[in-house]
Structure 1
Amino acid sequence: MPENTAVALQPAYDFSLAALRDSDRDRYLACLLSPQDKRGPLSALYAFHAEIARVRDLVREPLPGEIRLQWWRDVLEDPTGVSGEGNPLAEALLACVKSHKLPVPVLQNMIDARIFDLYDDPMESRASLEGYAGETASALIQLASLILDPAEAQNSASAAGHAGVAQAIAGLLLLLPLHRRRGQVYFPAELLAATGLDRDGFLSGENEQSVSLAICAFAGLGREHLAKARAAAASISPANRYAFTALALAEPVFDRAERAGAKLFEHSIVPPQWRRQWWMWRAARSGRW
């Protein structure tokens, strides 16, 4: 990118980095651990992801949430960029998309996947969960790779796919107390059935043994994808390892969820900030997660 273009984009990227610090502290740290010249565009991408991921937190009914998500679709579909004018985060995202040639359909699919968050429909199957994670967390890793090392991004697609599912499952375990209060269930119906539960039985939490088994099975699914991501890690270029930094949090979350079992409904298992920073710093330096 020409130096004058980078200077012109700096205010927008400064805003997205500041917004990310407030909306997704872990990916904010992932930005700071990445090469300095990549932090701005990465922050724009990550802040956009955080913005659409928190829409359910901002609305009381699904329709206003769908309107918010549609606004982002309109921004991405407008070739003039006028739709995003006046919104610093949208301007930063559009600048990132343009300068790094990010595929807009992937971003649009990410938006569409978030419609599921607005409703309390069940997650029907493992395939449905993996598809949801693929269009959100996996896509985010792959888009970050296009920013970091586009020439090698395709080589890490398999690792990104599995890493994203593992990361999504870890995130859903962290949010389980909140989702239960809302009546949301991201656990696949077939997984619940295998432990003798249905949606209502899971949310009631009355059968603690079965709930604990379901949580362990869900964490086990995350571990399965984490193992596959690790098996494919050799295909990740050194520069693109930074796209995977936040994955360092997945295994500790699985450990904590399995120990908590049904108690996870009532007690947070979010690791302390200093531990998360240490795990991510170590992953950024070593490329191992």
Structure 2
Amino acid sequence: MAESGPDPVATLVRDAAFDAYSAGLFAPAGARPHLYALQAFDIELSRVRDLTREPLPGEMRFQWWRDALADPARADAAAHPVMRALEAAIRYGALPRQALQDLIDARNDDLYDDPLPTVGDLEARLGATRSALLRLSSLILARGRDPGGADAAGHGGLALGLTQIARELSRAPQRVARLVPVELLAAQGVGQGDLERNEAPAALVAALRALALRHLNAARAAYPALDPVAAPAFLPLALVASDLTRRGPGDGLRWLRLARLWRASRRSTPF
């Protein structure tokens, strides 16, 4: 009998979202593939903008995902490894399909370069993506039962998203220029054109890091309301504090991040 190859869904998550992949290693074995399926779904959605030059082809890709969610038995949906794995995750975690449709709609906004006027607009965007993903992961770990911790997921997702934007601003500003709110740019005397030219002042990065830290602290305060069964979903937050104060490239080494997650997995409050 031929041996089966590596799981393409887990491989996708490992290659594209190593922190999420590593955190999944500390989840119960039965839930792990379903957590990876959800992450892979989000990875597929987040890549649409990079794969299409114009909004219309991107809209068509997102529509495929909407149709596949509505009719997962159709041939092309059933043959797609991520969609097939996602359908298993939906059944395992009793995931609401509408919440997944909402995630598609939120990612659809990435196709357009409309500026975000305020910090509140950015927080709403991240809440609809990063926070929603945390909440859905919690449901998987709780097998569809409400594990509580909605506020922890809300603030935790914002902390993760803001940290990622701050990290990109410090090394490749043009990649996240469209996500930096106009009011923050104005406060620092910066224009979006400056970011497009790969110029981001340290004060702007610091402002985003401070905002991320506020949400991290709020997530910590709300964390006790979460059923511990859902704790593995929140493990990536254990990396946020070090990412916000990172001074050297060594902090990004995979073995070091995995070691931090292992230590966090052994604490009652992982972050």
Question: TM-score, normalized by length of structure 1?
Answer: 0.83
Q: How does 1:1-289 map to 2 (within 5 A)?
A: 14-78=7-71, 80-149=73-142, 150-153=144-147, 155-176=148-169, 180-181=173-174, 184-204=177-197, 211-256=201-246, 271-286=252-267, 287-289=269-271
Q: Whole-Å Cα distance in 1 between the matches of residues 136 and 29 of structure 2?
A: 18
* Structure-2 change in CA distance of 1:172 and 1:183 (3 Å): closer
Return the structure number with greater helix share: 1
Q: Which runs of 5+ in 1 are unaligned?
A: 1-10, 261-267
The CA deviation at 1:82 is 4.3
Asked if the contact 1:126–1:190 (Cα under 8 Å) also holds between the matched residues in 2, the reply is: yes
1:249 positional shift: 1.8
Instruction: Give the stretch that moved more between structures: 162-171 or 21-30.
Output: 21-30
Unmatched 5+ stretches in structure 2: none
Query: Percent identity between the aligned chains?
Result: 40
Are residues 56 and 269 of structure 1, via their aligned partners in 2, closer, same or farther at CA, if it must alter by over 3 Å?
farther
1:167: Cα distance to partner? 0.4
Verify the 8 A CA contact 2:177 2:195 in the aligned structure 1: no
Change (3 A) 1:81 1:235: farther
Q: Distance in 2 between matches of 1:269 and 1:81?
A: 46
How far does residue 269 in structure 1 lie from its aligned partner after superposition? 8.9
Determine helix, strand or coil for the equivalent of 2:207: helix
Q: Deviations over 1:176-213 (max 9, x none)?
A: 3686345733111111112222322444466x6xx211
Q: Which amino acid aligns with 1:284?
A: S
Q: Could you tell me how far 1:219 is from its partner in structure 2?
A: 0.8
Conservation of the 8 A alpha-carbon contact between 1:192 and 1:214:
yes
**What displacement does 1:48 show?**
0.8
Q: Which stretch shows the higher mean deviation, 53-62 or 277-286?
A: 53-62
**Contact in 1 for aligned 2:134/2:157 (Cα 8 Å):** yes
TM-score (norm 2): 0.88
Q: Secondary structure at the match of 1:127?
A: helix
